[in-house]
Structure 1
Amino acid sequence: MLTGAVLVIGVLLALLAQWRDWRPSLTTAILVGIAVRVLIMYTSAIDSWQPVDFMESFKPAAVAVLNGQDPVLGSEGGWHFLPMIPYMYAGLMWLGIPWEWAGRLVTVIADIALIPLVAKLAGGPKAGLRAFQYALNPLVIMIACIHGQVEPVALAFGVAAFVVARGRGSLDRPGIATDLVAKARSGLAAYGVGGSARRSVTMLRRALRPVDRETIVRGVFAGVLMGLALTAKSWPIWLIPGMLLLLPNLRSRIAALVFTGAVPVFFLVTLPIFAGTALNQIPEVIRQMGGIRPIVGEWGWTPWFTGGNWELWAFGAALGTYLIYLSVIVVILLWRRADPIDMTIAILLIFMVVTPRLGAQYLTWFMPFLVARPTRFAWPAIIGVSVWAGYGYLYMTQFGDTPWWLLHADWSRASIVLLPILVAAMPWGRMVSKGALHPGALDPRVRPLTGAGVPPA
Structure 2
Amino acid sequence: MDYAVLTGVVLVTGVVLALVAQWRDWRPPLYVAVLVGIAVRVLIMYTSAIDSWQPVDFMESFKPAGEAVLQGKDPVLASEGGWHFLPTIPYVYGILLWLGIPWEYAGRLVTVVADIVLIPLVGKLAGGPKASLRALQYAFNPLAVLIASVHGQVEPVALVFGVAAFVVARGPGAPDRPGVAIDAAGLGAAARRPVAMLRRALMPGSDDRADLRRAMLAGLLMGLALCAKSWPIWLIPGMLLLLPHLRARIAALVMTGIVPVFFLLTSPIFAGTTLDEIPAVIRTIQDIRPIVGEWGYTPWFTGGDWALMPGLASFGTKLIYVSVVGVLLLWRRADPIDLTTAILLIFMVMTPRLGAQYLLWFMPFLVARPTRWAWPAIIGTSFWAAFGYLYMTQFGVNDWWYLHRDWSRASIVLLPVLLLAMPWARRVSTAQDRVAAVSPKVASTAL
Q: Deviations over 1:143-169 (max 9, x none)?
A: 000000000000000000000010112
RMSD: 1.7
Q: Is 1:154 aligned with 2:150?
A: no
Q: How far did 1:203 drift? A: 3.1
1:201 CA displacement: 4.0
TM-score by length of 1: 0.93
Q: Which secondary structure state, in structure 2, belongs to the residue aligned with residue 435 of structure 1?
A: helix
Q: State whether structure 2 residue 106 is matched by structure 1 residue 102.
A: yes
Kept in 2, the 8 Å contact 1:210–1:249? The answer is no
**Could you tell me how far apart the structure 2 residues matched to 1:203 and 1:437 are?**
23
Counterpart of 1:289 in structure 2 is 285
Equivalent residue of 2:112, what SS?
helix
Contact 1:216 1:255 in 2 (8 A): yes
Q: Residue 210 of structure 1: which of 204, 208, 220 is its match?
A: 204
Q: 1:245: how far off? A: 0.4
The 3 A distance-change label for structure 1 pair 194 and 412 is closer
Which residue in the other structure is 2:361 paired with?
A: 365
Partner residue in 1 for 2:379: 383
Task: After TM superposition, list the pairs within 5 Å mapping 1:418-457 onto structure 2.
Answer: 418-438=414-434
Match of 2:274 among 262, 278, 296: 278
Question: Taking structure 1 as reference, are residues 275 and 450 closer, same or farther at Cα in structure 2, changes over 3 Å only?
Answer: closer
Query: Which residue matches 2:30?
Result: 26
In 2: Cα distance, 1:327 partner to 1:143 partner: 27
Against the structure 1 CA distance between its residues 336 and 194, is the aligned structure 2 distance closer, same or farther, given a 3 Å change threshold?
closer
Mapped partners of 1:450, 1:323: distance in 2: 37
What does residue range 174-193 of structure 1 map to in structure 2 within 5 Å?
174-176=178-180, 179=181, 181-182=182-183, 185-186=185-186, 189=189, 193=191
**Aligned residue in 1 for 2:331:** 335
> Of the candidates 46, 49, 57, which is equivalent to residue 50 of structure 2?
46
Instruction: Specify the alignment match of 1:2 in structure 2.
Output: 6
Q: How far off is 1:310 after superposition?
A: 0.2
Q: Name the amino acid aligned to 2:171.
A: G
2:390 to 394, 399, 405: 394
- Give the deviation of 1:292 after TM superposition: 1.1
Distance 2:14 2:166 in 1: 27
Q: Which residue of 1 aligns with 2:306?
A: 310
Please state if 1:134 is matched with 2:134. no
Distance 1:68 1:427, change over 3 A: same
Match for residue 233 of structure 1 among 229, 232, 238? 229
Q: 1:301 to 1:141 in 2, by over 3 A?
A: same
Q: Is the 8 A contact 1:226 1:260 kept in 2?
A: yes
Range moving further from structure 2, 164-173 or 237-246: 164-173
User: Which residue of the partner structure matches residue 93 of structure 1?
Assistant: 97
In structure 1, runs of 5+ residues without a counterpart are: 442-447
Q: CA deviation at 1:122?
A: 0.3
CA distance in 2, matches of 1:43, 1:393: 14
Shift in alpha-carbon separation, 1:194–1:11, aligned structure 2, 3 A: closer
**Residue 34 of structure 2 contacts residue 119 of structure 2 at CA under 8 Å; is this kept in 1?**
yes
Matched, 1:254 2:250: yes
Q: Which residue of 2 aligns with 1:409?
A: 405
Q: Which residue of 2 aligns with 1:445?
A: none
Gaps of at least 5 residues in structure 2 are: none
Please tell me the residue identity of whatever aligns with 1:228.
L
Determine the structure 2 residue equivalent to 1:266. 262
Alpha-carbon spacing, 1:438–1:393, altered in 2? closer, same or farther (3 Å): same
Match of 1:115 among 119, 131, 150: 119
CA deviation profile, 1:379-411 (whole Å, cap 9, x unmatched): 000000010000000010111100000000000
Post-superposition Cα deviations, 1:348-380, rounded to whole Å, max 9, x if no partner, equal: 001000100000000000000000000000000
Task: Give, in whole Å, the separation in 2 of the partners of 1:146 and 1:95.
Answer: 22
Instruction: State the identity as a percent.
Output: 73
> Which residue number corresponds to residue 299 of structure 1?
295
Say whether the 8 Å CA contact 2:161–2:221 is kept in structure 1: yes
Q: Is the 8 A contact 1:210 1:216 kept in 2?
A: no
Give the 3 Å change call, closer, same or farther, for CA 201–360 of structure 1 in structure 2.
same
Task: Name the CA distance, whole Å, in 1 between partners of 2:116 and 2:109.
Answer: 10
- SS of residue paired to 2:430: coil
Look up the equivalent residue of 1:25 and give its one-letter code: P
Shift of 1:48: 0.5
